[in-house]
Amino acid sequence: MRMRDYWIKTAGELESQLAEPEPPITPPRHRIIFLYSPVCRWCKKVEPILDEMLRGRRDIQVLKLNVRSRPVRKLVKALGFDRTPVTIIDDRYVIEEATNYRMRLDFALRMVGAK
Residues 59-109 pLDDT 10s:
899 999 999 998 888 888 888 988 899 999 998 999 998 889 999 999 999
Give the global pTM: 0.74
CB atoms within 10 A of CB 35: 25
Tell me if residue 84 falls in helix, strand or coil: coil
Of 19, 40, 31, 20, nearest to 84 (Cα)?
40
Residues 6-20 pLDDT 10s:
444 565 565 666 666
Q: How many Cα atoms sit within 13 Å of 66 on the Cβ side?
A: 5
Domains of the chain in sequence order: 30-111 (3.40.30.10)
